[in-house]
Structure formats: structure tokens, C-alpha cells
Amino acid sequence: MRNLQKHGIGVMGGTFDPIHYGHLYIAESSRCRFNLGKILFMPSGNPVHKKRNDITDHVHRLEMTRLAIAKNPYFALSTLEVDRPGPTYTVDTLEYLKNDCSGTARLFFITGADAILDILTWKDVPRIFELCRFIAVTRPGFSFRALNEMLADLTEEQRKKIHLHETGGILVSSTEIRRRISRGEPVKYLLPDSVEKYIEKQGLYRHPDDSCLSLK
Ligand code: ATP
Ligand code: MG
């Protein structure tokens, strides 16, 4: 990873249950806008902030992510969070990445602007801001008022490390995809074909209460 130090490294965390074009679009759009050398897609292990308790097994989420990013040479899969046992904290992940790059990499944590509103609830906020900058990508339906309220609680220095990236956005969410599949509705053009085929083959999301799906 050391030759990437000249350009920043984007970290695209998410549950990716399943990964869709909204994720791929904000990653690629951030890469171009902020001249990032690489984007690490990092599916969450055992998320501490996610309110759902029926998250699909990480083996499936990893495989779907691998399939989705396969054609973009700037995208890479990181298993850092799923490999770590127990709850994962962003601050630990960033610390690890920083050390892995001898402390010199510029890390950009990419989030939808809805997700960034939760930052203040994360573990060790001051350290997180020392370790990375944020790219907050606007998402359809996003409230600037809520963002401004959150920004007011940060220090001036921390505020400067949040870069708002306004894109037209893509109106898609994993929740909507899971809902559509459970009702037998089409999801074509919301996510890559390879991911759609994988979901079909593994029989994922067919029932709304498909909790903790077992592997086939
Ligand atoms: P769910 O509906 O299960 O919450 P999601 O579509 O929000 O899923 P996540 O895995 O929770 O997907 O999101 C990972 C990151 O991608 C978050 O920072 C989220 O805000 C962002 N994101 C997801 N979909 C979009 C989108 N359509 N536009 C912009 N950002 C998005
Ligand atoms: Mg979400």
C-alpha cells in the first residue's frame, strides 16, 4: 500500500447487504473528485451502529462486494473488519490502516451524508479526526439542516476535515433492494448483474424475516 501515499486512500465502509450502484457510484465519484489512488471497500463485521439485527452472513456480503468491484482497478476489498472478532470500531480500523502505511497515508473515510450524522456517537471522535478526513456524499432525501446541526457540535478544526461532496446521487438503498426481492419485484439496474445472480443463486432476501441466513 506504500506507493499510494502520494494520493489519498478512500475507505468505503458499509454493511453492503447487498452492495448496490449507490455505493459504487459514491466511491468512484469521490475517487475522481479527490484524486484518490485507491478505494478500499470494507464490509462491516459485527456493526455496532446498525439497528438491524438480521444482517446477512458476512461471507455473502464479502462475496457480493468482491463481485461488484471486480471490474474497477482502483477498487479493492478489505476484510479487515470482518476478520476482527467482536464489535468493530472505526477508530481501530483507521489506526490499523494508518500503521499499515507507516503513518503517512492520507485516509479519506467516505460516507453517505446520512451516515455522517452519527459520527458523534462513534468511539473516540477526537482520534478519528486525527486519523482521517471525511467525504460526506449527499444522498437523495438528505437534510442539510441536520448536517449543519451536527457540524455545530464539532470543533473548527474537525469541521474543516469534513468535505461535503454534492452529487445528484442515486436513489437506491440496500433496504429497498431487500424489500423488492422479498416481494419478487425486479432489482435489475439497481446493482451489478453479477451481484443479482449471486443473490438469486444463494436465495438471499427472499423472505422479509430471512434473518442470519445460513450458507448454502
Ligand atoms: P441500508 O438500507 O441497509 O441501511 P444502505 O443502502 O444505506 O443500506 P449501507 O451499507 O448502510 O447501505 O451504506 C454504506 C455507506 O454508503 C453509508 O455511508 C451510506 O450512507 C452510503 N450510501 C448507501 N447508499 C447510498 C446512495 N444511494 N447514495 C449515497 N450514499 C449511499
Ligand atoms: Mg444505511
- pLDDT tens over the chain, length 216 residues: 444 446 899 999 999 999 999 999 999 999 999 999 999 999 998 655 556 668 999 999 999 999 999 999 999 999 999 998 877 889 999 999 998 876 678 999 999 888 888 888 899 999 999 999 999 998 777 788 888 888 999 999 999 999 999 887 789 999 999 999 999 999 999 999 999 999 999 999 997 654 444 443
Q: Is 154 left (phi over 0), alpha (psi -120 to 50) or beta?
A: beta
Q: The C-alpha cell of 77 is what?
A: 476489498
Q: Is residue 48 part of a domain?
A: yes
Q: Is residue 98 part of a domain?
A: yes
Q: Is residue 31 part of a domain?
A: yes
* Predicted pLDDT of residue 211: 45
Domain of residue 102, CATH code: 3.40.50.620
Note down the domain range covering 17: 2-171
Q: Is residue 199 part of a domain?
A: no
* Predicted pLDDT of residue 105: 81
**Structural domain count, the chain:** 1
Question: Do the beta carbons of residue 111 and residue 13 sit within 8 Å?
Answer: yes
* Predicted pLDDT of residue 214: 40
* Predicted pLDDT of residue 215: 43
Query: Residue 14 C-alpha to ligand 1 middle, in angstroms?
Result: 7
H/E element, 149: helix 144-152
Site to probe by mutation for ligand 1, drawn from 23, 122, 167, 170 as the one with most ligand atoms within 8 Å of Cβ, is 23
Q: Is residue 117 part of a domain?
A: yes
Query: Residue 157 C-alpha to ligand 1 middle, in angstroms?
Result: 26
Q: Which ligand is nearest to the CA of 26?
A: 1
* Predicted pLDDT of residue 170: 87
Query: Residue 97 C-alpha to ligand 2 middle, in angstroms?
Result: 23
Q: What are phi and psi of 133, to 5 degrees?
A: -105, 165
Buried residues in 204-215 as b, exposed as e (16+ CB within 10 A): bbeeeebeebee
Question: Do the beta carbons of residue 94 and residue 107 sit within 8 Å?
Answer: yes
Q: Is residue 187 part of a domain?
A: no
Classify the C-alpha dihedral 158-102-59-110 as positive or negative.
positive
Q: Is residue 214 part of a domain?
A: no
CA-nearest of 9, 32, 38, 12 to 23 is 12
Is residue 205 lining ligand 1, measured as CB closer than 6 Å? no
Q: Is residue 166 part of a domain?
A: yes
Residue labelled with grid coordinates 435489475: 188
* Predicted pLDDT of residue 46: 63
